[in-house]
Structure 1
Amino acid sequence: MKQIILIFTALFLVVSCGKIKEKQRQNMIDEVKFEDSLLSVSNTKRMKAITKSRSIAIIAAEDIKLSSFNRVLQNGDLVATLLKGRGPYTVFAPEDEAFETINYDEFDENESAGFSKLFILNRALPYEKLKAEILENRHQLLVENMEGSRLKFIEKDGDVYIKSASGELLKLAKPAKASNGFLYKINRIVGRN
């Protein structure tokens, strides 16, 4: 009788251990799936945060048409300002073709910094707000840049333009929205007004 009880006990333990092990294995699988789902959610949130935190400097650095402007920013030590600076800033970045008449490679650090500051404002100017301010004032809007010069903006036929020192009108396209302001690409150099 003892032997029968021992055999049943052993069988019960074997079956129970197998069920317990299967339950533990299933619990582990469920935990891994749950952790993976949390990880994918956190990765998604992290990617959204990275996308939202793209600064003006990062957006400009990624644009192949702004390589010359990026070099001037680096030479003038202003990348850190536009990368880490909270802003909000508005940057008017001349595309590479605008630099064809300027030998910026010969700029020293101070010249690069001064030149770069011509294109940077210490305030956020979203396109629609800029247009509204011009229309509200009913005249050319003058905005001071980081260097202390003034940039002239006008509205013509529903579009916004920067008026250069020589009187040339440079049409502004809609800006790229960055975490610390706005980046407008322009196709010419704007002189001091």
Structure 2
Amino acid sequence: MNRTNWLLACCAALVATLIGCASSPASTPIADATAANPQLTTLNKLVQDAGLANTLRGAGPYTVFAPSDEAFKQLPKATLDALAQDKAQLKSLLSYHVVAGKLSTAEVQNGSVKTLQGAALALSKAGSYVTVEDAMVLQSDVPASNGVVHVIDRVLVPPKK
């Protein structure tokens, strides 16, 4: 291979690598990463309704414990209807699922972490299993440019103040 062909091949490989990086999930912020996940359509709608999308597109980093659509189906319809009517309560509930800082599964330790809502969440890890309060992490370490998302099987309810 002559020098020109070698340079062209190297440039093509570099461009392919850069395109691959640009389209990877880690290049999108949390709000867009959750919107692209088919398990999180309810969460995505509620994040939009609560006005949290811009926060989850911000610099962060954040860790989001994201309830799956199945988790939201476990809530009584009356609870979801009440949240739809009370944006402050909806924002509080959703903020209870967000922690400042990027916390991968490997970094989870038994203990508690403070949420953006202000209350603490209890985290527990046994081997590769992680729980958040009474929720189990179903899908861990979904990458985002401003943090990480862990899909959980329950909606977490903040303690009463």
* Equivalence for 1:55: 29
Percent identity over the alignment is: 26
1:98 aligned to which of 66, 71, 74: 71
How many corresponding residue pairs? 148
Q: Equivalent residues in 2 for 1:71-90 (5 A)?
A: 71-83=45-57, 85-90=58-63
- 2:90 maps to 1:117: no
TM-score calculated relative to the size of structure 2: 0.77
Whether contact under 8 Å (2:84, 2:90) holds in the other structure is no
* Equivalence for 1:137: none
1:67 aligned to which of 12, 16, 41: 41
Whether contact under 8 Å (1:98, 1:188) holds in the other structure is yes
- 2:121 maps to 1:151: yes
The structure with more strand, counted as a fraction of residues: 2
**1:60 & 1:71 partners in 2: Cα distance?**
10
Could you tell me which amino acid in structure 1 is paired with residue 80 of structure 2?
A: N
Larger Rg: 1
Map Cα deviations across residues 2-46 of structure 1 (whole Å, 9 max, x no partner). Answer: xxxxxxxxxxxxxxxxxxxxxxxxxxxx9xxx6xx9578546414
**Structure 1: which 5+ runs fail to align?**
1-29, 135-140, 164-168
TM-score calculated relative to the size of structure 1: 0.66
2:107 aligned to which of 114, 126, 129: 129
Larger relative contact order, structure 1 or 2 (CA cutoff 8 Å, min sep 6) = 2
The structure with more helix, counted as a fraction of residues: 1
Q: Which runs of 4+ in 1 moved over 6 A?
A: none
